[in-house]
């Protein structure tokens, strides 16, 4: 029992900002990122002194907070009108020029994104080989080539070994960025060849008013649970309704970006594709094959965006469960709550023991890891987790009976 609190404090992927934090979108520059992030300052100092590394490993408890940093660095390197230091080195992007806009929309030919494939949730060796071929080519129009691996800890062994070869002999004028919320899953040889920059602390990712209101509704429903299984399935339904909305929004956002530029966006493919070569086409290659590949890439991009949104909302719930645990410990003064002043927090905390509040955090952490790392059926995983939550129904029932 002594080690459980440590597990929660160091291992759980809490949403790392409170409700008043920054709200990220794809159009972002270094100046828009939280000022308390020392990692941002480190990157800008490296840019100012011309000491940019060839490979970075961006880590942090919130995966959604890492992409804006990578995108900002890519835009700074490719910006046509960057903000410059006193020495004339670019230190931030303008966020307005054609280069910046195309990085945001995923249509810049010198930025190549790699994401886990939608079904297997792994980054394959073919994706890494495609990326390596791309970055060894000369830049199309910018002075740099940029490669970004989202959820780099999803590299399978063959892909990791292929990436290692590229890291050992990197091309000039190229920057690789590996993003990972679980860097311990990466090969140590890969980690040792990257400059590691950690992003954590309040302000790394925020929630808009609509998201905060949804978390409040969930919290109130959980705190008011009186009828056991019936109320728990109301909680499940609330989550599923929200996730259905997020899937629709993810599809709309990806489709809008997909058709925004004059070319098919490389940044939205599950893995980058190389430019046409002189190699003879196979029998199955042609318009139909190309269309099929585009459709599969678009589907993978939609799935990746949906998973990012789902992780954000489940993390927001975990932030509230953390508040309940802190309230049970009477530790609010030492650790600021994500959602201060909510009656549902103190109400549920009063019905739980410290161990029960802690168990809820473990249950929700397991749910996030299961959905993020496997192809488990979403409904089944969420249903099981909600049914496992300790909500103090027994104490509530006894209280109602005594009142009657």
Q: In the structure, what pLDDT confidence band is assigned to residue 161 with cuts at 50, 70 and 90?
A: very high
The partner residues of 147 in beta bridges, in order of sequence, read 112, 176
Q: How far apart are the first and last CA of the chain?
A: 37
Q: Are 287 and 309 in contact (CB under 8 A)?
A: no
Mean pLDDT score of the chain:
78
Residue 217 in this model has a pLDDT that exceeds 80: yes
Look at residue 24 and tell me whether its pLDDT is greater than 90. Answer: no
pLDDT reported for residue 229: 86
> Are 323 and 287 within 8 A, CB to CB?
no
Q: Tens of pLDDT along 170-190?
A: 888 899 999 998 888 899 999
| Residue 362: how many other CB atoms lie within 10 Å | 16
Cβ atoms of 301 and 269 closer than 8 Å: yes
SS3 of 297-334: the string is HHHHHHHHHHHHHHHHHHHHHHHHHHHHHHHHHCCCCC
Average pLDDT, integer, range 3-30: 42
Query: Which residue has tokens 């589907």?
Result: 299
Q: Is the pLDDT of residue 301 over 80?
A: no
User: What gap in Å lies between CA 371 and CA 187, rounded to an integer?
Assistant: 23
Pairwise pLDDT comparison (86 vs 257), residue with the higher score:
86
**pLDDT for the residue 206:** 59
Q: At which residue do the structure tokens 């830049």 appear?
A: 139
* CA 214 – CA 220 distance, rounded (Å): 10
Question: Is pLDDT larger for residue 395 or for residue 73?
Answer: 73
pLDDT at 376 over 60: yes
Percentage of the chain with pLDDT > 70?
A: 75
**Cα 15 off chain centre by:** 11
Which range (39-43, 257-261, 389-393) has the least confidence? 257-261
Among residues 91, 72, 79, which one has the least CA distance to residue 25?
72
pLDDT of residue 227: 65
For residue 169, count CB atoms less than 10 angstroms from its CB and return exposed for 0-12, middle for 13-18, buried for 19 or more.
Answer: exposed
What is the tens place of the pLDDT at every residue in 354-366? 899 999 999 998 9
Q: Ramachandran region of residue 187, left (φ > 0), alpha (ψ -120 to 50) or beta?
A: beta
What confidence category does residue 29 fall into, taking pLDDT thresholds of 50, 70 and 90? confident
pTM: 0.58
Q: At residue 326, does pLDDT exceed 90?
A: no
What pLDDT score was predicted for residue 22? 36
What radius of gyration, in Å, describes the C-alpha atoms of the chain? 23
pLDDT tens-digit map of 221-240: 999 876 678 889 999 999 99
Which CATH number describes the domain made up of 24-198?
Answer: 3.40.50.300
Q: Average pLDDT of 94-100? A: 91
In which residue ranges of the chain is CATH 3.40.50.300 found? Answer: 24-198
């Amino acid at each position: 029992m002594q080690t459980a609190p440590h597990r929660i404090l160091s291992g759980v992927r809490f949403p790392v900002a409170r409700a008043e934090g920054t709200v990220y979108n794809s159009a972002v520059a270094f100046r828009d990122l939280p000022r308390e992030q020392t990692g941002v300052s480190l990157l800008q100092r490296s840019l100012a002194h011309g000491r940019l590394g060839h490979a970075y490993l961006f880590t942090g408890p919130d995966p959604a907070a890492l992409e804006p940093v990578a995108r900002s660095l890519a835009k700074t390197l490719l910006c046509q009108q960057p903000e410059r230091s006193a020495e004339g080195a670019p230190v931030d992007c303008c966020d307005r020029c054609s280069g910046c806009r195309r990085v945001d929309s995923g249509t810049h030919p010198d930025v190549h994104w790699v994401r886990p494939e939608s079904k297997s949730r792994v980054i394959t060796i073919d994706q890494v080989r495609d990326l390596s071929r791309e970055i060894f080519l000369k830049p199309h129009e910018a002075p740099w080539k940029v490669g970004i691996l989202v959820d780099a800890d999803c590299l399978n062994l063959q892909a990791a070994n292929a990436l290692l070869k590229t890291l050992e002999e990197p091309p000039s004028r190229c920057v690789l960025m590996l993003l990972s919320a679980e860097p311990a899953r990466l090969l140590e040889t890969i980690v040792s060849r990257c400059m590691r920059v950690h992003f954590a602390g309040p302000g790394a990712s925020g929630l808009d008013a609509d998201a905060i209101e949804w978390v409040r509704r969930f919290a109130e429903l959980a705190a008011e649970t009186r009828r056991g299984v019936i109320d728990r399935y109301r909680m499940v339904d609330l989550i599923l309704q929200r996730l259905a909305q997020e899937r629709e929004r993810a599809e709309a956002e990806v489709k809008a970006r997909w058709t925004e530029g004059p070319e098919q966006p490389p940044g939205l493919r599950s893995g980058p594709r190389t430019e046409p070569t002189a190699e003879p086409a196979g029998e199955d290659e042609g318009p139909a094959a190309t269309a099929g590949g585009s459709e599969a890439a678009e589907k993978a991009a939609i799935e990746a965006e949906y998973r990012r949104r789902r992780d954000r909302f489940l993390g927001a719930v975990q932030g509230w469960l953390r508040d309940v645990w802190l309230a049970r410990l009477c530790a609010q003064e030492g650790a600021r709550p994500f959602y201060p002043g909510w009656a549902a927090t103190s109400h549920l905390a009063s019905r739980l023991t410290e161990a029960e509040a802690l168990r809820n955090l473990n249950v929700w952490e397991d749910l996030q890891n299961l959905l993020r790392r496997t192809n488990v059926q979403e409904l089944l995983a969420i249903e099981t987790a909600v049914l496992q939550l300790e909500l103090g129904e027994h104490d509530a029932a006894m209280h109602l009976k005594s009142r009657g």
